[in-house]
Chain A
Amino acid sequence: MTSPAPIVRQDSRIQRFFLRHEWARGYALLSPTLAVMVLAMCLPVFMLAAHSFWTQNYLTIDETFTLANYEQALGWLWGAEGAKPIYIRLLWKSMQISFGVTVTTLILAYPFAYFLAFKVRRNKNLWIILISVPFLTSYLLRVFTWKIILGFNGVINSGLMSLGIISEPLEFLLYNPTAVLIVLAHAWAAFAILPIYVSLEKIDRSLLEAATDLGDGPFRRFWRITWPLSVPGVIASGLLVFIPTVGDYVTPKLVGGTEGIMIGNIIQSQFGKANNWPLGSALSIVMAIAITIVVLIFLYVMSLGRVRAK
């Protein structure tokens, strides 16, 4: 009698290791992303943090530890000698513009997402593709397009003039914070629409029917059911728009003029024309921390609101 052949093939040691440990499989799956994140994110941030404690000496960098850059950036707050208010004021203005952009974007995005979630029955995917069509062109081009629309001899001015509504071109359309707000709100619309759409789409339709069944008309039902259940999506959208727009410098540079300049422009110039990387780094870090604080305060207030709702 020959010995019976093994029915199952034995797994190798490595295979057995992965079979036994769920976490190992998880990290294996994550590892390419993790590598990119570490190299492409943590490293630059670390470099930025390091630079912010150094000093620029014309063409070389003095690597002795100093807080001078932070004093220059924030010193005005406590009246440090020679510190200028421009950085704090620009940061504050950037926050205001971004807040305006966020609110505008959300107000425009919510009805769109609502329409998409509740009114579009067929070809939903087509609509979602249409939302992302603007992203096929470059960000720069889209900003330039707005210049054509808002400009001195732009679409709006020449249109209004040919209709005889105005005799001279409107000058307040371009090169001011409002222009920045309009362009940014348009640029980030898709990022606001999608999270709100997802949170609306997720709402069980029987909840809406139940609310109607219990006596609610359409508007009351919206405020009592639809809105509270879509708030997480609105918060996500708001953060998704607010955080990146604070530091934006392309849009303010192209359509903001001198009035519409933002903190991002100052930071960019430190790394460019002004050639002061350490100050630029310190300003970046100050901005990042400021945004984090604002977001945390916002989330804290929201969580308070939700606790009260229960």
Chain B
Amino acid sequence: MATSDAIIKITSCSKHFGPVRAIDDVSFDIARGEFFSLLGASGCGKTTLLRLLAGFEQPTKGNIFIDGQGMAGVAPNHRPTNMVFQSYAIFPHLDVRRNIGYGLRDAGLSKKELDGKIDQMLELIKLPGFGSRAAHQLSGGQRQRIALARALIKRPKVLLLDEPLGALDKKLREEMQLELRALQRNVGITFVFVTHDQEEALTMSDRIAVISQGKVLQIDTPTSLYESPNCKEVAGFIGTMNFFDGTVKSMEEANAVVDAGPLGDVRTRPFAAKLPASGASITVAIRPEKINLNPSRPSASHNVIEGRMSAAAYLGDRSHYYVAVKGRNAPIAVAAQNVNAARSWLGGQDQPVWLSWREDSVILLDR
């Protein structure tokens, strides 16, 4: 993708640690002012990529450009980036003010100007009056904010965040997600955010790069990534997905009809991008929340299957159900909002149910 206003350009970048290819020939751009997430399981190379941007690692091959300037051989302390570390790395021997002002020693500011800037930052992270606290007197959430302020006060062109919310409890994390997003819009700095939490990435990002084994699988907006993943791996990593192996039987008015074994014939939405050829082996994927549970056979003529309830989990706002279907080992996952009397499904183990889904809920992926 060639973005005209790219702040970061990564051109066929590789990083090898001995025989391990932590980053394997990666190229993409990040636009100015974007909230960009690097998403992947632990060990996929996302943190290595972030450290390449920060300059703590040098690429084995390829180059990185930040704001048009090649970063080969540029030390971390000379890069227009700043980082929020996973451990926050708050300096334990300095108080909050000195931590936040740490990077401005060379900025040629008077004491008054510096104090003004630090106060402004304390205001921004909603910790006014915390300036004289010692590092050990801070909670995890406060440390996270101070690490953020310490990096932002330098007004970097790019802010790098290495799983900054990982150590916070769930409630605080959700709060910080929204706050961080609002802050990013506010300051207008490009954020590159590393996370293994797909929900977090979906909540916060303009675009997400899904990374696996050092390669970028897909870069897209959260909606596109969730609704039209380009491969099985992305589909499986973002959210839950039911996969069925099938063969394309025929094409009817740009709708594919796929013989999906135990599921019978599955009809899919019209395909504009690439029409699968008849007879092609293919994977059918359907999200759990896009499957309807019916107590009796619905009237639709296709995309309907009978099964038996094998397990159910009540999660408060929604419930997860697992429905066994004849001829298939793994049960089909179904998610339903508990709008009303939904709990009735929880009672009957082994009760027969009918599953149905719309044509446009079906995703076709290469096997």
Contacts and interface: CB of A to CB of B under 8 A. Distances in A.
Tell whether A and B belong to one assembly.
yes
Given A215-B77, A216-B77, A310-B134, A209 B106 contact: no
A212 interface: yes
A210 interface: yes
B95 A215 contact: no
Nearest to A214: B103
A54 B54 CA distance: 72
Interface string B65-94: 000000000011100011101110101110
A305 to B, nearest CB: 12
B314 interface: no
A206 B89 contact: yes
Contacts, number: 55
A121 to B, nearest CB: 13
Contact of B95 (A204, A229, A310): A310
A6 interface: no
A213 B93 contact: no
Nearest to B156: A213
Given A229-B92, A310-B134, A213 B82 contact: yes
B154 A214 contact: yes
Contacts of A129: none
Interface residues of A, number: 18
B93 A229 contact: yes
A22 to B, nearest CB: 25
Contacts of B103: 214-215
B150 interface: yes
A225 interface: yes
Contact of A213 (B83, B86, B92): B83
A59 B189 CA distance: 88
B155 to A, nearest CB: 12
A214 B95 contact: no
Nearest to B81: A213
Contacts of B82: 213-214
A225 B91 contact: yes
Interface in A202-239: 204, 206-207, 209-217, 224-225, 228-229
A228 B93 contact: yes
A212 B77 contact: yes
Name the residue in A206, A217, A228 with the highest tally of chain B Cβ atoms < 10 Å from its Cβ. A206
B85 A206 contact: yes
B89 A204 contact: yes
- Give chain A's interface secondary structure class: helix
A210 B77 contact: no
B271 interface: no
Interface in B40-80: 54, 56, 75-77
A210 B150 CA distance: 10
B87 A213 contact: no
Given A209-B56, A228-B93, A214 B87 contact: no
A309 interface: yes
B130 interface: no
Contacts of B150: 210, 214
Contacts of B56: 209, 212
Given A215-B77, A215-B103, A215-B154, A210 B85 contact: yes
B87 A206 contact: yes
Given A225-B91, A310-B95, A213 B54 contact: yes
B45 to A, nearest CB: 18
A213 to B, nearest CB: 5
Contacts of B75: 212, 217
Contacts of A213: 54, 76-77, 81-83, 151
Contacts of A214: 77, 82, 102-103, 150-151, 154
A139 B273 CA distance: 83
Contacts of A229: 92-93
A217 B77 contact: yes
A204 B87 contact: yes
A209 B93 contact: no
A207 B89 CA distance: 5
A206 to B, nearest CB: 4
Contacts of B76: 209, 212-213
B91 A210 contact: yes
A209 B89 contact: yes
Given A217-B77, A229-B92, A209 B85 contact: yes
A309 B91 CA distance: 13
A214 B56 CA distance: 13
A204 B134 CA distance: 17
A257 to B, nearest CB: 45
A210 B89 contact: yes
Contacts of A216: 77
Contacts of B91: 207, 210-211, 225
A304 B74 CA distance: 40
A58 to B, nearest CB: 60
Contacts of A310: 95, 134
> Which of A209, A210, A215, A310 has the largest count of B CB atoms less than 10 A from its CB?
A210
Contacts of B102: 211, 214, 224
Nearest to B162: A206
B95 A210 contact: no
Interface in B77-128: 77, 81-83, 85-87, 89, 91-93, 95, 102-103, 105-106
Interface of A: 204, 206-207, 209-217, 224-225, 228-229, 309-310
12 contacts: A206-B89, A207-B91, A210-B83, A210-B89, A212-B75, A213-B76, A213-B81, A214-B102, A214-B103, A214-B151, A215-B105, A225-B91
Given A206-B89, A209-B85, A213-B83, 8 more contacts: A204-B89, A207-B89, A209-B56, A209-B76, A210-B89, A210-B150, A213-B77, A215-B77
